[in-house]
Amino acid sequence: MARKYFGTDGIRGRVGEFPITPDFMLKLGWAAGMAFRKQGKCRILIGKDTRISGYMFESALEAGLSAAGADVLLLGPMPTPAIAYLTRTFHAEAGIVISASHNPHHDNGIKFFSGQGTKLPDEIELMIEELLDTPMTVVESGRLGKVSRINDAAGRYIEFCKSSVPTSTDFAGLKIVLDCANGAAYKVAPSVFRELGAEVSVLSAQPDGLNINADCGSTHVEALQAAVVAQQADLGIAFDGDADRVLMVDHSGALVDGDELLFIIARDLQERGKLQGGVVGTLMSNLGLELALADLDIPFVRAKVGDRYVVAELLARNWQMGGENSGHLVCFQHTTTGDAIIAALQVLLALRRRGQSLAEARQGLRKCPQVLINVRFAGALDPLEHPAVRDASARVTEQMAGRGRVLLRKSGTEPLLRVMVEGDDEAKVRGYADELAKIVAEVCV
């Protein structure tokens, strides 16, 4: 059944434009409270990233949940995976994340976690959507939900992250630069790595509500690259605004993406006999990852782009490791969702076990040239159905003669068509990508 409000990763948009408005959030809180309290009273956690609109939407959701008779536990600014974890440990019926992840401050959104710390089942999302289209009611005053704040939420999550590595772990002698994207990890991430013995230098950890993801974090790694080189650090770690994505920078300032990090973790698990099944990537995963894993006899499958599809494939196969080249990595052996801090810790452990630098560890994967161009299109238009776009894609695929691939897909959060071309000849790949992007732009004005 088609969803009216929920996309592939919750509900997201520009602040002040429907549905990212206070009145809709009030109704959404009420609908969620009604859906989850069908067994009586319920508790729902609310966490957020650092964007300024989070305060407004937190208050609106809180009021709606209370009106439905749901008790609310406020976490304040916390990484998205922390909210998944705390929802489980507090035995709450659901967790709500107020975040637009790697988007600028003028966007915001809502994600839900089930009581098990996983994405909501389809039937619950559909129930919430149905309730959103019904008149809002208020329980009688004696049954209104109560609201309280969890003051030690950060400390609980820090200890959880540290528990994902052996108690003997000591990163003494390791010099790290962290870029916290002025986002949700700005407090907890430095504490985790420092408490495990690393020497930590921190960038972009002064959120003001407007600077989240602004020329920093995993979408803008230039400052991190410069800092790693200038400080002669061993490596750099970049988070996105809600800390469910991670990218790294080696000692030379070279970017290490999600495909390479996934390879490093999977190879380490296999060497220790701890890899359960294979690895799940996406349609955007570099062909080099698939080939490198094949050399190690590690099975690899591709899911649709989006962490919910990676997670669904992992669950269907009973595997543990998966992720996207954007840095959204899922380590099911430790947690229930993509977690940037935990994934980074697994990479550092792998480096220590092998006695390698990040630059050395990444050498096991030879990436194929891949060019990605984003082309904006009119909201109501579906560029994938345009004959000129389809013909051009087929023509380029034929010209590549089996030595590459073309992938055209729409963004799940913005009116963008992502044009990706991958192959073994970088000049040809760039030319094909430019050709396709030009055609898309011409027909999608």
For residue 390, how many C-alpha atoms fall within 13 Å in the half-sphere facing its CB?
A: 6
**How far apart are the C-alpha atoms of 278 and 301, rounded to whole Å?**
8
What's the chain's average pLDDT?
A: 94
What residues form DSSP beta bridges with 71? 43
**How far apart are the C-alpha atoms of 12 and 19, rounded to whole Å?**
8
**How far apart are the C-alpha atoms of 110 and 251, rounded to whole Å?**
37
More confident residue, 214 or 291: 214
Q: How many CB atoms are located within 10 Å of the residue 394 CB? A: 11
pLDDT tens by residue, 118-146: 989 889 999 999 999 999 999 999 999 99
* Straight-line distance from the first to the last Cα atom of the chain, in angstroms, rounded to the nearest whole number: 30
What residues form DSSP beta bridges with 418? 374, 409
**Active site includes 101?**
yes
The pLDDT assigned to 155 comes to 97
Q: Does the pLDDT value for residue 443 go beyond 90?
A: no
Residue from 53, 66, 99, 101 carrying the catalytic annotation: 101
Top CATH class, 370-443? alpha beta
Sketch the domain layout of the chain as residue ranges. 11-153, 170-253, 257-351+359-367, 370-443
Among the CATH numbers 3.40.120.10, 3.40.50.300, 3.40.50.970, 3.30.429.10, which is that of 257-351+359-367? 3.40.120.10
The pLDDT assigned to 264 comes to 98
Do 11-153 and 370-443 agree at the fold level?
no
pLDDT tens by residue, 3-54: 789 987 899 999 999 999 999 999 999 999 999 987 667 999 999 999 999 9
The CATH T-level fold of domain 170-253 is Alpha-D-Glucose-1,6-Bisphosphate; Chain A, domain 3 (3.40.120)
Superfamily for the 11-153 domain = Alpha-D-Glucose-1,6-Bisphosphate, subunit A, domain 3 (3.40.120.10)
The string over 268-292, giving b where at least 16 C-beta atoms fall within 10 Å of a residue's C-beta and e elsewhere, is bbbeeeebeebbbbbbbbbbbbbeb
pLDDT tens by residue, 202-258: 999 999 999 999 999 999 999 999 999 999 999 999 999 999 999 999 999 999 999
The pLDDT assigned to 380 comes to 67
pLDDT band at 379 (very low <50, low <70, confident <90, very high): low
pTM of the model: 0.90
The percentage of the chain sitting over the pLDDT mark of 90, rounded to a whole number, equals 86
Nearest alpha carbon to residue 118 among 343, 311, 303, 280: 311
